[in-house]
Structure 1
Amino acid sequence: MRRDDLTDLNVFVAVAEERSFTRAAARLGLTQSTLSHTIRSFEERLGVRLLTRTTRSVALTEAGERLLRVAQPGIEAIAAELTALAELRDKPAGTVRITTSNHAHQTILWPALKRLLPGFPDIRVEVVIEHRFTDVVAERFDAGIRLGEAVERDMIAVRVGPDLRWIVVGSPVYFADRPAPAVPQDLTMHRCINYRNSTSGDLYAWEFEKEGRALNVRVEGALVFNDTLPAMEAAMEGFGLAYLPEDVAAASLRDGRLVAVLGDWCPYSPGYHLYYPSRRQPTPAFALLVDALRWR
């Protein structure tokens, strides 16, 4: 079959169904003269007349009736399949790779995925938990989730969580035989649980601010972790003071296993942001995930 035959067959079916060149032209978005020329050329190639034209109507010949019975279901099936393929193209599907920290995964990403994924079974999400700041372009991630202050300026950053507050906590056992620190400088007289920055490899300096005055304190202690959860567990066991996101420590603060200190020195800072390259063309699956994560 020639490629022109498929085009001409579609025109013929439209005219046959409408029984009118005028209505068929409007349906196909063509001029009546184009339709007439197409039908004439089609009939000449086939060597039979398909339509009988009068000034007021269009009727099918016997050959036209026969061709319509065969062609009409085929044209409808093709049109239905093309529609289905278009829907498949726009249907959110495929794999989205995200790098994030353990805390951001637990508090931001996982709650969003639990809401989103049941309704979109063709979306797959690969989550890589790591504490260093990741180059999403070099390591072929679709996006990353990190604190807003850590996001590079050449990235698109979408806020996905509220502001965060980091606080200093210790157990009642720890404070039983020593006074609580009154100012950040007092931490140098306390056992503290350090945090190793996975990106730089340095020990993290605890950050404080009060009345516009910023202060970083490097602390000492017997323990170093690269995650907040083991640091919190060590603090609850009385091994020293820990510097934790307030939401991580909230339950332990409520039940008295931890006590917060230096609260007036612990301000809020920018929360988590989803970041990805500005030149990235979002897929439907990625756009859907961004919308599900967006902080409102």
Structure 2
Amino acid sequence: MAGQRLDDLAVFVTVGREGNFTRAAAHLGVSPSAVSQTIRGLEERLGVRLLTRTTRSVTRTEAGEKLLREVAPLLEQLDAHVTAVTELRERPSGTVRITADEFAARHLLWPRLRPLLETYPELTVELTTDYGLTDIAAERFDAGVRLGGIIDADMIGVPIGPRMRMVTVASPGHLARHGIPSTPEALTEHRCINLRLPTHGGLFAWEFGSGEHEFRVRVSGPLILNSVFQILDASLAGVGLAQLPDGLVAPHLACGELEEVLGDWSEPFEGYHLYYPSRRQQTAAFRVVMEALRHGIKGPAPRRDSP
């Protein structure tokens, strides 16, 4: 009886999150009619309406909202505990889902995950790239990777990378043709390459300074791209000025393909952290991934004008 009630609550949580009987049924691997019947039975036992149905959508009532808010975390904890017990074996296995932005995924995570996947053939890592502050609990990710200063307080954050700087760069040829900006504000008069954030759709404002003296500059120019790697290629081609992570441009600065400008306004900030819910029971697979991502942390990236 208790098991049936838990199953019914799991169906309700899925419908409440999806807002649609058909999508919930597809996720659960059952028919929409079976989902509808389960919800009706649950509402009858509780004596309260949980969902309001229309021809186009399903919305939660006040009671449904309260039940979803209180029951969903409990079911997640129960599922995590059961998973942890079933994974008590010698070699980690199963799927670990991580969300990260494009630069972190390619520059930081992939070099550390590649040897891990060779070592543990029963382990699967699902890596999704986006620039938004993904709600990892709602989207059912095991963890996210974001810069340290933008992690929610109710998350555990583990540093996996050094402090970083966003540096303003251009090719020597571009600077020779168009001049060097003397201040960040002067960028509004220069040809710049903009980044359109794929998740939010807005243009990234270039950041300078730190702490109380931090400020942003809106730039314009002949090219807007949605990938930092595309912007790097365009800056190397002399299209315009770009603002990019120091770890991405360091090799090109070292060989003279790019030059940094406005270095006095480029201050270091917290690097990438792996973050996950504090209540989550860690599986063997998650622990081995976390340790792999923590490996090899070094000190702050040096300033280009450092001795």
TM-score grouping bracket, smaller chain normalisation: 0.5 to 0.7
Q: Contact 2:208–2:214 at 8 Å: present in 1 too?
A: yes
Number of equivalences = 212
Q: How does 1:78-157 map to 2 (within 5 A)?
A: 89=89, 91-157=91-157
Residue aligning to 1:207: 207
Q: Contact 2:157–2:275 at 8 Å: present in 1 too?
A: yes
Residue aligning to 1:12: none
Where does the alignment leave 5 or more consecutive residues of structure 1 unmatched?
Answer: 1-84
Supply the distance in 1 between the matched residues of 2:211 and 2:263 (Cα, whole angstroms): 13
- 1:98 and 1:193, CA in 2 relative to 1: closer, same or farther beyond 3 A? same
TM-score when scaled to structure 2? 0.64
**Which residue identity is paired with 2:255?**
D
Supply the distance in 2 between the matched residues of 1:87 and 1:134 (Cα, whole angstroms): 27
Supply the distance in 2 between the matched residues of 1:213 and 1:168 (Cα, whole angstroms): 18
Q: Give, in angstroms, the shift of residue 199 of structure 1.
A: 4.0
Q: Contact 1:147–1:270 at 8 Å: present in 2 too?
A: yes
Supply the distance in 2 between the matched residues of 1:139 and 1:211 (Cα, whole angstroms): 32
Supply the distance in 2 between the matched residues of 1:141 and 1:128 (Cα, whole angstroms): 9
Q: Give, in angstroms, the shift of residue 101 of structure 1.
A: 1.7
The CA RMSD measured in Å over matched residues stands at 2.1
- 1:210 and 1:282, CA in 2 relative to 1: closer, same or farther beyond 3 A? closer
TM-score when scaled to structure 1? 0.67
Residue aligning to 2:191: 191
Residue aligning to 2:266: 266
Secondary structure of 1:269's counterpart equals coil
**Which residue identity is paired with 2:188?**
T
Instruction: Deviation per CA, 1:124-147: give whole Å up to 9, x if none.
Output: 111112222221111111111111
**Which residue identity is paired with 1:160?**
I
Instruction: Deviation per CA, 1:161-214: give whole Å up to 9, x if none.
Output: 001111001111211223201111110110111112334332111111179632
Q: How does 1:189-268 map to 2 (within 5 A)?
A: 189-209=189-209, 213-268=213-268
**Which residue identity is paired with 2:270?**
P
Q: Give, in angstroms, the shift of residue 283 of structure 1.
A: 0.4
**Which residue identity is paired with 1:178?**
H
Residue aligning to 1:177: 177
Q: Contact 2:87–2:93 at 8 Å: present in 1 too?
A: no
**Which residue identity is paired with 1:289?**
V
Residue aligning to 1:44: none
Secondary structure of 2:214's counterpart equals strand
Larger radius of gyration, structure 1 or 2? 1
